[in-house]
Amino acid sequence: MFQSFAVTARPEQGPPRLAALREEMTVENLDGFLVPRADAHQGEYVAPRDERLSWLTGFTGSAGFCAVLPDVAGVFIDGRYRTQVKRQVAEHFTPVPWPDITLTDWLKEKLPQGGRVGFDPWLHTLGEIRAAEKALKGTGISLVRSPNLVDRVWTDQPAPPAEPARPHPMEFAGESAESKCDRLAAELLKSGHRAAVITMPDSIMWLLNIRGADIPRNPLAQGFAVLHDDGRVDLYMDPRKIDGLGEHLGERVVAHPPETFLGALDTLTGPVRVDPASVPQIVADVLADRLAEGADPCALPKARKNAAEIAGTAEAHLRDAVAMVDLLYWLDSQAPGTVTETQVVTRLEDARRRDNSLQDISFETIAGTGPNGAVMHYRVTEESDSLLEDGHLLVLDSGGQYLDGTTDITRTVPVGTVGDEEKACFTRVLKGMIAMSMLRWPVGLAGRDIECVARMPLWLAGQDFNHGVGHGVGTYLNVHEGPQRLSRVSHVPLEPGMILSNEPGYYREGSFGIRLENLVVVEQAPALRTSDPERAMLQWRTLTYVPIDRRLVVVDMLSREERDWLNAYHRDVADKLAPRLGEEARMWLDAATAPI
């Protein structure tokens, strides 16, 4: 099994760590301190050194934060983690449903007489702090820039990562770094910006066609960059990471020690573009009146995959599907009550490792059986490891990081004989995934405009789920990539080349969970006989080809169009995968993809 890197507090460690932090708050004359799950780069995943939230509270989710006051410590989590947080945090921490309850409303209630709440300006964005300060105006509560107090009390904090980076081949990148820099520099000139500060590591990796190993499961090298309007790049990165990359980076990229980054910002001539959603507050403080707000210049170009990236991702998915079929075929041969979640995870990761282009898994494999399946981002541990018992549903969410693409797939499979209610809920989730897969929509719509399509079958039954319908996915980069999303809060129009997940689900706490996920890419839709000639349309092309378990489908709940889609999908699965499989696996695949 691939190594897990989490730094997590055990329940008995939480109280003394919390007490030590509160002592430092007293030293700094603070009434509160914010502990985000974030680093200076604002990525979803962080290095072990930056696992401050997990170290303090025990909560290991990929989003959330803790607000520590003298007599209460709130752990703020969204709908994905409300079951998980109950299992992980000690009684000294109070789960807070977020964003139902905002940080500022919570602070107003807990600090009615006002107070000083400290935060590390490296770990909170300009947009985040500005919004909070606006909401707290007139309350007497102030947000105060502070040294990081968790780092003071974390005596065995891991060292910063310094893993070597490597070039990303042109055959997979599809465009040279020089071309990308020139293209983005032209956009800066057009916007009247002299430079742009880039703090997101995946943006730097994409721009310079390199990949790193600083972050578990994500091929990132942490650092900062400044792209100038003439195409030059100043790169602020530990020299150990880029040793030997001089020829690849070329003369236009000048490397500097990371500790010189803030000082170099002082010398820039404005306006300098920063993205308020990702730039640390301390960067905005240094730039002051030279600051110009705008999107990360790499974000949309990175999201619009080129032909080489799409072709590589499609091929990676087919090889990945072979590993999935190996796992599903094996599972079908095991009797209920004889296999554990850990065995499933190990078997699947071993199957993926047979592909020599696999660099890592793309996130910690989720294998949740029965009640564990209702924990949306469940991670099996020694304590939680459970048998797959008769009547259970197993939610299996996993993926691989291959040199030519990143995969992410979820399948829900039955263990033994499953009840009618579980099958009905599964079929509604399947109907939602099919509806999204079949959708055509006008150019200009964002994820928020169409995500309800995947929820409609559940809504009609009075059901729903507390996560987005889909997230963006990188190409041998982050498995969760912005700015594209299928979410109620996504305002970014969908464009050709964007890769997203299509993953509706349903979760019944204490009982079972269901999720289905394919990756899809946006493409131009061909005109129909009935099409308005002036109205351009978009559609999805599916990239994931793995059987959907027919034993859980209530056929009478599907329309003729939905049956036709599922049968056509399974024909494609059989056609694409059969030549890659051994004889026994092909026989299993034939049965798994038989028409309904």
User: What are the sequence ranges of the domains in the chain?
Assistant: 14-153, 166-302, 304-583
Neighbours of 67 (CB within 10 A): 22
Show contacts of 560-564: CB within 8 Å, 24+ apart. Answer: 561/438, 562/430, 562/431, 562/434, 563/596
CA dihedral 416, 420, 425, 431 (to 10 degrees): 90
pLDDT score of 296: 97
Q: Which tokens belong to 109?
A: 């209630």
* End-to-end Cα separation, the chain, in angstroms: 36
Q: Over the stretch 47-98, which tens digit does the pLDDT of each residue have? A: 999 999 989 988 877 678 999 999 999 989 876 766 666 666 656 788 888 8
Q: How many helices (H) and strands (E) does the chain have?
A: 21, 28
pLDDT score of 303: 98
Residue with tokens 């990188």: 474
Give alpha helix (H) positions in 439-492: 447-450, 456-459
List the chain residues with pLDDT less than 70: 1-12, 62, 79, 81-91
| pTM for this prediction | 0.93
**Fold (CATH) for 304-583:** Creatine Amidinohydrolase (3.90.230)
pLDDT score of 77: 84
| Distance (Å, whole) CA 226 – CA 390 | 57
pLDDT score of 464: 98
pLDDT score of 7: 67
The answer to whether 370 touches 393, Cβ cutoff 8 Å, is yes
User: CA nearest 589: which of 574, 571, 572?
Assistant: 574
The answer to whether 426 touches 514, Cβ cutoff 8 Å, is yes
Task: Return the sign of the alpha-carbon dihedral for residues 218, 223, 226, 230.
Answer: negative
In one letter, which amino acid is 485? Answer: R
Q: Report the DSSP pairing between strands 166-167 and 210-211.
A: antiparallel
| Residue 508: φ, ψ to 5° | -120, 105
Q: Over the stretch 540-586, which tens digit does the pLDDT of each residue have? A: 999 999 999 999 999 999 999 999 999 999 999 999 999 999 999 99
Give alpha helix (H) positions in 482-534: none
Q: Report the DSSP pairing between strands 481-486 and 470-472.
A: antiparallel
Cα angle 314, 318, 320; round to 5? 110
Do 14-153 and 304-583 share a fold?
Answer: no
The answer to whether 231 touches 249, Cβ cutoff 8 Å, is no
CATH number of the domain at 14-153, out of 3.20.20.70, 3.40.350.10, 1.10.10.10, 3.40.50.1820? Answer: 3.40.350.10
Question: In the chain, what is the greatest distance between 2 CA atoms, to the nearest angstrom?
Answer: 73
| Distance (Å, whole) CA 563 – CA 595 | 9
Identify the CATH number of the domain defined by range 166-302: 3.40.350.10
